[in-house]
Structure 1
């Protein structure tokens, strides 16, 4: 686990004086925005992204595509919300072009950027160098690097299987069949599928690992590919287990309105659960591939209730928070927030199926164990998750390890525990800009 620096820029986590009652407009989905940017950049005609998330991860993705020649124009437009209202917001017009190097890509610590763009760079004419934050050097990329080499790409990584690296684009890529082990990240599969329509032979990705986390994210990739005209065969559509095939072909430009980020809605729903209050998230989609949609089921089991209306999702806490025994393998990004709620519950919890979180923005299992325990908690790290026994907690510094979901987990605990101070809450800008203002605004509405 990354050693945290001396605590600086401590943010006093607001303590809830009563039940929250608020409407929170959650910004657009990072996962959808970054996939949409890649598909629009590879399309045969211009496209629009309306109400995109504007955060560090998405701006890094846009900047990387611009470095390879893609035009991305920012403007203001109006679009229909789920509830039928006309909503004015930012829009990005994406103008695809022949990709080219030399270019330099800063991935920050964004898994989608570091994994989705090397296949794109293989289609560019010229070298594209990838670099990022120090933590990005520790995150595995071998699944993408090795697969691209099999498919015909030339990549220099000095044999590390991690950043920094250079993709020597040749303007095209043969493609074809490839075997990968995506046990550490489903993004390895998505990365190859997203660019697959532009490979000369398309791509056939066969996962040969023992587990495959975050399947909803692969389904999101497949749905978005099909929406822009790609032909994709999947295990769910009658294909072989653990095999995805993408046929070569042109991609259409789309006019896409980005859904709210349901995983980023988690701390606000948790606030209703922890305080016995009520939070409304407008424009929660009736059908979605976002992993965050499972919060409706998980937080209901932990003591809340929810109603999905034409306007959005209304979530209400009962005043009691119950422990849970749950496999989060498909929705691992929800683990920090669920762990925070579990630490405030009336019975123990076991969170399973998330060994891969040790390779995320930080080692999330070790970080959650250490930080909750330092506030008086009783968390034990297991082989594939956490066991949490609720105990009375006290104030203290909650370190974030430059991990946005650690910061929001600390904020959840701070609602019920006075004196929690969060180190570097600004790291939430990775996917949830203006989180402190949204958080205090929610409490101000109580």
Structure 2
């Protein structure tokens, strides 16, 4: 990056560290899956922290657990609409679905009963499940967003039961190892920051404990470094590394519920926090445990993301800091558009492109550079969707109104495409073509 850009980014985290009295901050910007800038302020012991210094991730742990769940789904071992009872029987909240647990819409209580789980040693699964026998459900499943740490303790147990081993072992083998996240661990190893609470009225510190959370650990146990978290940021941006298909990551980034219901700025997909900011839609998660704050966010369209790790219980605006790093990077060093290049296209597919009509309304069908079809109103206003081939003359909708719906090409006896059948809507080359199977028939224009 330009020296001026690097200085501006460093100044931003320096301001945050000084103004918010953080013992230390490490931050990085990720573009196209790689760290393009990193910086730090403050001290860890007698030295400045670096990209290999471990901090606690807190709830960013949930995004890794969600990935393990989605791998089970992709393997056909569960369906997102399955009730929990099918996979973890015997709980009083078994009617909640896997998708509801992932998106914090299961209605489960936010915290486990008993002592504050983040500062005390955790119990095992049997003890946690037993403590939830009464009053665990606060809302009807699916009724509303209600953030639940307990829900991810439950998902960790689900993963363990399917794989026949602890959820941490599953993450090591299936997620962390393949992505090269070798410095992401359940407890600090090697160079790491001590977590502190900063006194609100004096410049003094209180060391925070970091016990093992037991069955609640899937909600926030892991420690990591800026280098490893950058790899995770890249993953959330679509660089799946063989762990998940890009389509599955995109599904995780798709909005399920919103936190602020009037004009949403924060919501949740399947295990991921979603943020809308200045025309961007970003995905990632924040993390908070006693002594630590963490954040990772990525704009999958711009392929720019950022992360920050802080060893302070509170007081640092990590989400806004992350958003500022992303925005400053793209403003100070805007991307050049990718060069357009021609590409080979199947002639049979090319013959489908051009003008179609839904009733009297004109639509255009185009082939995109990634081999997908885009069907959109000619004037740009109305329903549009992208489609991916699923067979000979059949396509599935990927987004918009027709997401998940089937588009089928109708042909005459000579093999010429005469109409498109999209979820019972018939598109024809001319408005209400009488030769096409338009529902209700066509008597002719008068």
Q: Which has the higher contact order (CA 8 A, sep 6+)?
A: 1
Structure with bigger gyration radius: 2
Q: Compute the TM-score of the two structures, normalised by the length of structure 2.
A: 0.26
Q: Which has the higher helix share?
A: 1
